[in-house]
Chains A and B, each alone.
Chain A
Amino acid sequence: MSVNGVTFLAFLLLAVILYYLIPKGVRWIVLLCASVVFYLSYGWSAGLYLAVTIVLTYAFSLWLGRLAAIHPAGETAQVRKAQKKQLTHKKRLVLAAALVLNFLALGVLKYGAFFVSNVNRVIQSFGQEAFPLPAFLLPLGISFYIFQTSGYLIDLYRGKYPPQRNILRYALFVCYFPQMVQGPINRYDALAPALYEGNAFDWANLQHGLLRMMFGVLKKALIADALAPTVQELYTNFYAYPGSMAFLGAALYCIQLYCDFSGGIDLLCGASTLFGIPMQENFRQPYLSTSLADFWRRWHISLGEWMKDYLFYPLALSKAFGRLTKRARSVLPADVAKRVAPCLATVIVFLCVGIWQGPGWANIAYGLWNGLWMSLGLLWAPVSSKLFHRFSWKREGLFWIVWGVIRTDLLVIIGRYFSNAGSLMSALRMLKHTVTAPGFGSLNAQVFSSVGLTWATVLPICAALAVLLCISLAKERGVQVSQWICQRKWYVQFLILFAGLLLTVLCVYGNTDYVPIAYVYENV
């Protein structure tokens, strides 16, 4: 069932009513049932894959939990230390086995075909026959639930909290339906309390949930969906237009992606709020970031945090990286040497972020593009700091903030050449086209209208973007717009609600069976 359809709304309504009708102690069961129904609506086989992951990670979680509960009880400190070391070693093996199994599933299902095609390319150059490309079913949300369960297992390994012993409750944590489509990657310690506790009905939750859902739906429909055809055209046929249009396409894709992704998250977080369950936030006005590092703390936050806690820190603080730092010190100036390890870890992390986006060399290039710029930023920091001191510039000054935002967004836009071009080669071609043939002179209304940008399409999008920008700037200044709205006079609230609902119903939910009249006639 698509989360953008009326069916999902009806499903949600039913689930909410049931949730608050039954006794608090068993309310989580409604969520579990709803989640199962939701997931199975995408097909039984996907459900099977998910069930296997749940059972497997559940078994490992109990094992890890039992190991974590053992306290070294040796006579002397030395014995206890040895026991602890042995225990840690064992825990590490168990975790490693669990993670390998978990990521193997993801690797085979999501990256199998990509891997085989690259192997084929190599062996074909030696004249060998190619392997047939595997075509696996990709279960809904696999990248999210694999990461979520892996994070859970690592937390257990670190002894952060005891494991969930009830397999049904654990299953709910893994397959809670609002997080299945596009995340966020929730943390057990943050999600579990609200998830299992029968939350009391609260009108305020209803209010905030509904408002947020409406906001998300409108953001997606009025901006992302409206831009989609233009972006599609500019990415697929970029060579037919001046190169600057390719850049415009990438920039519009940034907007489209943000509105689509964050709009979806708003819809689903809002839905979760109806049950009184807060999910992890995923976006914080990313395009107002002043540096690429800042951007990645505001964009897809749950993924960034996951990467930081479960990959970046362990990597950067590992013994191997410690040795690397030591070696660097002997050959490089101190300022640079201590930055080598974090830089390398950053590059590796963003390589993983790129791969996480999906199979293909373009995604890997996308990851590297981000990782390399952030490493450069880190190396550049001491120099820039000296410059700022030398000339007494203020980082908080408007000029530097605006400059930072522009520079960051520019890097993000160029990065998006890679993540949406389909292949590395076409991304590079598109980039080359932008640089070598910008063709500013041949930009005219004709060119814009041939990619679907006419006044009639652009004006509503611009109006919606302007509203979004205002809301984002307000949030940036710490003003919650939903709070602000709730404090208005009733008729102002009514007008805002009416306008929002009118757009939602007329543009989105009521607009499903439409066939353009030209199409009706021409297909006679």
Chain B
Amino acid sequence: MDKLYQILHDCCPDIDFEHETKLVDDGILESLDIVMIVSELSEQYDIEIDVDDLVPENFNSAQAIYALIQRLQEEQ
């Protein structure tokens, strides 16, 4: 989880990932950020995130992102 926070902060230093739970719904996280985060995650965790996975539920909070990573790692 700490590693995830680190990655997220590197991508978007201004966002409070620890506390926000509606990152996408409230428009805090933009599509540009999402793309950047996704490609970082693919790199760091060696997973393949599909376009279908880019729904708000998966990116609304750091926890949701973490869950997504775990699910994808299991599927591999």
Given A313-B31, A388-B14, A395-B14, check contact A339 B36 (CB 8 Å).
Answer: yes
Contact with B along A292-335 (1 / 0, CB 8 A): 01000100000000001100111011000110011000000011
B42 pairs with A322, CB closer than 8 A: yes
A338 pairs with B40, CB closer than 8 A: yes
Given A297-B27, A385-B14, A395-B14, check contact A316 B39 (CB 8 Å).
Answer: yes
Bound CA span A308–B32, Å? 10
Q: Assess whether B38 is interfacial by the CB under 8 Å rule.
A: yes
A378 pairs with B39, CB closer than 8 A: no
Query: Inside 8 A of A385's CB, which chain B residues have their CB?
Result: 13-14
Interchain CB contact (< 8 A) of B39 among A159, A325, A382: A325
Contact with A along B48-61 (1 / 0, CB 8 A): 01111010000000
Bound CA span A316–B34, Å? 10
Interchain CB contact (< 8 A) of A317 among B13, B30, B32, B49: B49
Q: Assess whether B43 is interfacial by the CB under 8 Å rule.
A: yes
Bound CA span A297–B34, Å? 15
Q: Which single residue of chain A is at the shortest CB-CB distance from B54? A: A313
Q: Assess whether B35 is interfacial by the CB under 8 Å rule.
A: yes
Q: How many residues of B contact A (CB 8 A)?
A: 20
Q: Which single residue of chain B is at the shortest CB-CB distance from A339? A: B36
Query: Inside 8 A of A339's CB, which chain B residues have their CB?
Result: 36
Bound CA span A273–B42, Å? 43
A312 pairs with B39, CB closer than 8 A: no
Q: Which single residue of chain A is at the shortest CB-CB distance from B32? A: A342
Q: Assess whether B67 is interfacial by the CB under 8 Å rule.
A: no
Q: How many residues of A contact B (CB 8 A)?
A: 32
Given A317-B49, A322-B42, A325-B43, check contact A312 B13 (CB 8 Å).
Answer: no
Contact with B along A352-378 (1 / 0, CB 8 A): 000000000000000000000010001
Q: Assess whether B64 is interfacial by the CB under 8 Å rule.
A: no
B52 pairs with A158, CB closer than 8 A: yes
B51 pairs with A313, CB closer than 8 A: yes
Query: Inside 8 A of B38's CB, which chain A residues have their CB?
Result: 316-317
Interchain CB contact (< 8 A) of B31 among A312, A335, A386, A395: A312
Q: Assess whether A218 is interfacial by the CB under 8 Å rule.
A: no
Return A288 CB to nearest CB of chain B, in Å. 13
Bound CA span A312–B54, Å? 11
Query: Inside 8 A of A374's CB, which chain B residues have their CB?
Result: 32
A158 pairs with B36, CB closer than 8 A: no
A313 pairs with B35, CB closer than 8 A: yes
Return B13 CB to nearest CB of chain A, in Å. 5
Query: Inside 8 A of B54's CB, which chain A residues have their CB?
Result: 309, 313, 317
Q: Which single residue of chain A is at the shortest CB-CB distance from B11? A: A338
Query: Inside 8 A of B40's CB, which chain A residues have their CB?
Result: 338
Query: Inside 8 A of B49's CB, which chain A residues have their CB?
Result: 317
Query: Inside 8 A of B35's CB, which chain A residues have their CB?
Result: 312-313, 316-317, 341-342, 345
Query: Inside 8 A of B13's CB, which chain A residues have their CB?
Result: 382, 385-386, 389
Return A372 CB to nearest CB of chain B, in Å. 14
Return A159 CB to nearest CB of chain B, in Å. 8
A317 pairs with B14, CB closer than 8 A: no
Q: Assess whether A346 is interfacial by the CB under 8 Å rule.
A: yes
Within 6-40 of B, Cβ neighbours of A (below 8 Å) are at 10-11, 13-14, 27, 30-32, 35-36, 38-40
Return B16 CB to nearest CB of chain A, in Å. 12
Query: Inside 8 A of B36's CB, which chain A residues have their CB?
Result: 338-339, 342
Bound CA span A342–B29, Å? 14
Query: Inside 8 A of B42's CB, which chain A residues have their CB?
Result: 322
Bound CA span A339–B37, Å? 10
Query: Inside 8 A of A160's CB, which chain B residues have their CB?
Result: 52
Q: Which single residue of chain B is at the shortest CB-CB distance from A159? A: B52
Return A404 CB to nearest CB of chain B, in Å. 14
Bound CA span A210–B10, Å? 49
Query: Inside 8 A of B31's CB, which chain A residues have their CB?
Result: 308, 312-313
Return B69 CB to nearest CB of chain A, in Å. 15
Bound CA span A158–B42, Å? 20
Query: Inside 8 A of B50's CB, which chain A residues have their CB?
Result: 317
Please indicate which of the listed interface residues B27, B31, B40 has the most CB atoms of chain A within 10 Å of its own CB.
B31
Return A72 CB to nearest CB of chain B, in Å. 14
Given A158-B52, A382-B13, A385-B13, check contact A317 B27 (CB 8 Å).
Answer: no
Given A316-B35, A325-B43, check contact A293 B51 (CB 8 Å).
Answer: no
Bound CA span A342–B27, Å? 18
B14 pairs with A346, CB closer than 8 A: no
Bound CA span A389–B9, Å? 14
Q: Which single residue of chain A is at the shortest CB-CB distance from B49? A: A317
Bound CA span A389–B30, Å? 21
A-B contact pairs, 28 of them (CB 8 A): A293-B30, A297-B27, A297-B30, A309-B51, A312-B35, A313-B51, A316-B38, A316-B39, A317-B35, A317-B50, A317-B51, A317-B54, A321-B39, A322-B39, A325-B39, A325-B43, A326-B43, A338-B36, A338-B39, A339-B36, A341-B35, A341-B39, A342-B32, A342-B35, A342-B36, A342-B39, A346-B32, A378-B32
Q: A308-B31, A386-B13 are in contact. List 8 more A-B contacts (CB 8 A).
A: A313-B51, A316-B35, A317-B35, A317-B54, A338-B36, A341-B39, A385-B14, A395-B14
